Structure 1
Amino acid sequence: MAIGNIDYVSLAVFIILFAVFAFLGFYGARFRKGDLKQIEEWSLGGRRLGTILVWFLLGADLFTAYTFIAVPAGVFGSGSLYFFAVPYVAWGFFVALLTMPRLWTVSRNRHYVTAADFVKDRFNSKSLAMAVALTGIVAELPYIALQIVGMEAVLEILLLGLGVSSKVVTELSLVLAFIVLAAFTFTSGLRGAALTGIFKDVLVWLTVITVIIAVPLQIGGFSHAFTVAQSTKKIFETLPPSLYTAYFSLALGSAFALYLYPHAINGSLSSNDKQKLKYSTSLLPIYGIGLALIALFGILVYGVPGALTLIKHTGNAALAVPALISYTMPDWFIGIALSAIFIGGLVPAAIMAIAIANLFARNVVKEINPNMSPRTETALAKWMSTVFKFLALGFVFVVPASYAIQLQLLGGIIISQTLPAVFLALFTEKLEPKSTLAGWAGGIITAVGLAYYRNFVQLHQTSFTTSLYPLFGHFLYMALIALGVNLAITLIGSAIAYALGWRPKSAINKQELEVVIQKAS
């Protein structure tokens, strides 16, 4: 089946760029050399990354193959509601500027590698730290799986264009790519991810800028695409009033969750300076502009008949952007663009696997075996980063892609429940550990309960298909409802404990926290 302008030139460019990516990944072991048998060197780049490297790393961390695939596919299918991703990242960076410099400062002073390290000392509670660690692992795994879903879409359209429709070939290609990824992550750690992140982002920006200029010129502008969209499928150009609260709550809840994910915290802690971290974060809204342009790809698809026919034929909206590119761009540029999306899945998958491997080694296994040596801890984290990558890969092979996407939405709802223990604790020492743990449990139970009740009882679905819940006549993102329960339990419980005579017994005392606040300001 011929697809647009895909040919063997496209494949050759794709393979060459993947080879460059692999070289940079392995070369990372020699970049700013350090003892990669130490956890801080392997997983945080020795905390020696400057403004530009952290900017590229966080950009690679947060703007992924899934962003390239899912956001335009959402706009293609549902219209304006999916533009919530644009304000959400802007608000997310504001949250990051409030929290990450403080977390970076105390982490640098006390050699923390994960958020759970901070929670353990802040609350003097191993159980709360382990709860935060396990939540991060559970929420992150489907996020890795989603990168693979995006990569799978790229391989599917590339191979279909070459006349190969075998799912086995697609899966073998993914396995080979993940073997390369696992190998250089094991040897290079975050340094390899940082270098490949720069390469990935150059390809991404080249693709975004070229497509957003070239395609409208070919099809007669955005007005033509919007006209066809409205005549082909009812899509909301203007958000209807019934979805106002859904839009706002999705944006706000996602903004709270963004920097609670282990990979975002891991990238922030790799900075070599608090001020440089602030500069890096301040520059990230540039990626927000890129995201807005990527979202518009979902509208441009309507102006390309060949892409519409392919999506209808396959029944797979995830092919929207690859199809758009394949039917409008020359063969050599198709290779570049598909490489950008494919590598855009591999780089964040590496960072995510490193982040949750740290949580597993430091905050789960080491709590069970506190005598574990630093080198053993690092070795375990390296091996677990490989295990987690292939667990996510196996998950994608076993379950439908739509399940992975919906589980990631549930992951966002779940990770939000760590907000009091991680973010609020940066500003106050007056959260009582048991109350905070009870709040976390209440939030998790509420989140899972709402998701189950809404999807399987009210809507009679066979899988998790929506993260919105009707409350008082308005649709709200379940994360905010669950977080409200969480905060109520945490704050009321802490107030009662304080009234009964409880006082903070944190390893990070009030004076040290004040120093942290002063340094982070």
Structure 2
Amino acid sequence: MKLAIVLAILLATVSGALCYGRVTRKGHTLADWAVGGRSLGTLIFWFMNAGEVYTTFAVLGISGYAWALGAPAYLAFCSVSLSYALGYWLMPKIWRAGRARRLVTQADFFAARYDARWLGVLTGVIGIASLIVYVQIQLVSLGLIVQLTLDGLVSTQTATIIAGLLMVAFVFVAGVRSAAFAAGVKDVLMIAVVVLLCATVASKVGALSIADIFRRAEQLHPGIGRLPGLDHTSPTTAIWLLTSSLNIALGNWVFPHLFQISYTSASGTAIRRNAIWQPLYSLAYFCIILLGFAALLAGTKPPGNNLNAALLQFVSDHYSAPVVGFVAGTGFLLALAPGALLLLTAGSIFTRNVVGPFRERLDERTSLRLSRFSLVAFAAIAVWLSISQKGSLVKILLDAYSAIGMLAPGVFLGFLWRRTTALGVLAGLVAGFVALLAPFAAQFWSSAVPQWEPGLIAMAINAVVTFGVSLLTPQPSHSAVRVAFPSAGSSAQAVNGLNATQP
């Protein structure tokens, strides 16, 4: 029964996504495949944007964190709200630059804003690496869901490979429009699942109400609702919550796929409307954390004590097969829709910004073919990482945000300060990655500021170095500055014209 429901949800969504993508596609170009012809309206952009924020991390990762640690799961509330506050300001600027200069990828922005194709290549490689790590989150979750659906009949490795193939199938043909359709279906089903489980969860654990679940959790595990959570020796204090939330918020729209989503909107107004209302989506995390606490009260024991599987195991233990199938089918879409867009973004960056600078005469057909086949290769790498590495979804996510956060100073300063230069961004990247990845740096941060998110510290060092080196290097050309400051060119022309009329 549950397998039949999962297959029905999956096949219906894949068929609808492919049909929608092919029917609404305007052309057979890389730009249409990657950014949907820059024509997504408010509603479809809503689902597209939210689809990349509410993934398997939102459901399995946060519920598992609540089950294992308690209060540190509140990270989801803080980071999402802060992200949309920044997105209201940043995303319309990205959209405007993309439309004016016909940009397709994030690396296009770096190359154009700093008048340096080499910087586009470098940031493209960094972006692809971060996207592959993010795909790993979706594949780990999908592997768990496949195993639940098939009652453990397949190994983790086989389940992960199947998950990778399904992701590729989502966008290989129709591109970003297919992902947008799937994201809409996924969001509707996610809300239905959360409402269904929360309406019935109290009776499953012997509680009188939802509030009673929290009360009983506090009685059985004193301190679970306060930082640092269940583990009183954990560094997950209020400082950790603040610095981790800021790190995620500052890095969120810098992720290449979310940066690229900004290009797909039909207008800046659609982006702002979404940024105003989508923080309401963060209220769903209350229900997800509730389910994690309920799983703890029920004594749920996921295989291998894997916190990522806590919610799936709880549902499997306490609900009927049709409900398990409904939850598993929704979980498939929670991973497939975002993961497919991550791979699409990596493929388009590879073609335009890694291969493109060295093969300037690539036609549209060749570019599209290269993007499609490169995303297959990136999916294979992500599958290998998922099989060979272990860790909580939250830990993998924080690592991914720390890496991509190194591009944040180049993006924010690029829109805030006209004087920011390519060499400044390069120097900041080097300093930031040393502060983030060097063993001596990691040891120093863990002893000097153990409660701070290392990614935020590295980002701050990056920003300071970018600012300082930019002051010492020649400022970028007027045409480069106009990418982020459209009025800069007209002002400069007016000044030059005035100077020309003076004796």
- Length-normalised TM-score, structure 2: 0.89
Match of 1:30? 22
**Shift in CA distance, 361/516, structure 1 to aligned 2, threshold 3 Å:** farther
User: Per the alignment, in what secondary structure is the counterpart of residue 438 of structure 1?
Assistant: helix
Is contact 1:77–1:235 with CA below 8 Å preserved after alignment?
no
Give the letter for the 1:441 counterpart. V
1:413 to 360, 383, 402: 402
What's the CA shift string for 1:168-201, capped at 9, x where partnerless? xx54454345434423411110111111111111
The 1:183–1:288 alpha-carbon spacing in structure 2 relative to 1, beyond 3 Å, is same
What is the CA deviation profile of residues 382-403 of structure 1, one whole-angstrom value per residue up to 9, with x for unaligned ones? 1112221222123222x13328
Distance 1:342 1:298, change over 3 A: same
Q: Counterparts of 1:330 and 1:289 in 2: how far apart (Å)?
A: 27
Give the direction of change, closer, same or farther, for the CA distance of 1:208–1:517 in structure 2 (3 Å limit). Answer: farther
Question: Is the CA contact (8 Å cut-off) linking 1:130 and 1:363 kept in structure 2?
Answer: yes
Post-superposition Cα deviations, 1:129-180, rounded to whole Å, max 9, x if no partner, equal 22221111111111101101111222223333xxx4441xx54454345434
Q: Where does residue 65 of structure 1 map in the other structure?
A: 56
Q: Distance in 2 between matches of 1:254 and 1:174?
A: 26
Give the letter for the 1:262 counterpart.
P
Q: CA RMSD in A?
A: 2.5
- Corresponding letter in the other structure for 1:490: T
The amino acid of 1:31's aligned partner reads: V
Q: CA deviation at 1:271?
A: 0.8
Asked if 1:331 corresponds to 2:321, the answer is yes
Identity of aligned residues (%): 21
Matched to 1:76, the amino acid is W
In structure 2, give the amino acid aligned to 1:495: L
Aligned residues of 1:142 and 1:404 also touching (Cα < 8 A)? no
Are the counterparts in 1 of residues 419 and 476 from structure 2 also a CA contact under 8 Å? yes
Q: Could you say if the C-alpha distance between residues 245 and 44 of structure 1 is closer, same or farther in structure 2, counting changes exceeding 3 Å?
A: same
Query: In the alignment, is the contact (CA less than 8 A) between 1:102 and 1:517 conserved in 2?
Result: no
Alpha-carbon distance between aligned partners in 2 of 1:366 and 1:420, rounded to the nearest angstrom: 25
What CA distance in whole angstroms lies between the structure 2 residues aligned with 1:416 and 1:173?
31
Kept after mapping to 2: 8 A contact 1:76/1:299: yes
1:355 matched to 2:345? The reply is yes
Shift of 1:42: 0.4
Match status 1:21 vs 2:13: yes
Query: Does the CA contact (< 8 Å) of 1:222 and 1:300 recur in 2?
Result: no
Indicate yes or no: 2:227 matched with 1:239. yes
Q: Does 1:441 align with 2:413?
A: no
Equivalent pairs, count: 482
Question: Following the alignment from structure 2 to structure 1, what is the Cα–Cα distance between the partners of residues 386 and 483?
Answer: 48
Following superposition of structure 1 onto structure 2, how do residues 244-393 of structure 1 map, counting pairs within 5 Å? 244-305=238-299, 308=300, 310-311=301-302, 314-393=304-383
Structure 1 CA distance, aligned partners of 2:31 and 2:144?
Answer: 35
Distance 1:453 1:119, change over 3 A: closer
Q: Displacement, 1:14? A: 1.1
TM-score, normalised via structure 1 length:
0.86
Aligned ranges 1:66-215 → 2 under 5 Å = 66-160=57-151, 164-167=152-155, 171-215=157-201
Question: Any idea what SS the aligned residue of 2:173 has?
Answer: helix
Letter in 2 for 1:281: A
* C-alpha distance in structure 2 between counterparts of 1:503 and 1:237, whole Å: 51
Tell me what 1:464 maps to: none
**Structure 1 consecutive aligned stretches of length 4 or more whose deviation exceeds 6 Å:** none
Deviations 1:353-402 (A, max 9, x none): 011111111111111222222332222111112221222123222x1332
Residue by residue over 1:388-422, the C-alpha shift from the partner in whole angstroms, topping out at 9 and shown as x without a partner, is: 1222123222x133288645432211111111222
Counterpart of 1:277, as a letter, is I
* Preserved CA contact (<8 Å) 2:114 2:421: yes
Secondary structure in 2 aligned to 1:62?
coil
Quick one: which of 427, 438, 463 aligns to 1:487?
A: 463
Q: 1:393-404 counterparts in 2 under 5 A?
A: 393-397=383-387, 399-402=388-391
For 1:245, the aligned partner's letter is I
Q: Is the 8 A contact 1:225 1:301 kept in 2?
A: no
1:463 is aligned to none
1:279, CA displacement in angstroms?
Answer: 1.3
Task: For 1:92 and 1:470, locate their aligned partners in 2 and report how far apart those are by CA, in whole Å.
Answer: 29
For 2:110 and 2:59, locate their aligned partners in 1 and report how far apart those are by CA, in whole Å: 34
Letter in 2 for 1:428: W
What is the DSSP-based 3-state SS (H/G/I as helix, E as strand, rest coil) of the residue aligned with 1:383?
helix
Instruction: Classify 1:28/1:173 alpha carbon distance in 2 versus 1 (closer, same or farther; 3 Å).
Output: farther
User: What is the letter of the counterpart of residue 459 of structure 2?
Assistant: L
Q: Following TM superposition, by how much is the alpha carbon of 1:217 offset from its aligned partner in structure 2, in angstroms?
A: 4.2
Sort the Cα spacing of 1:280 and 1:517 in 2 relative to 1 into closer, same or farther, 3 A: farther
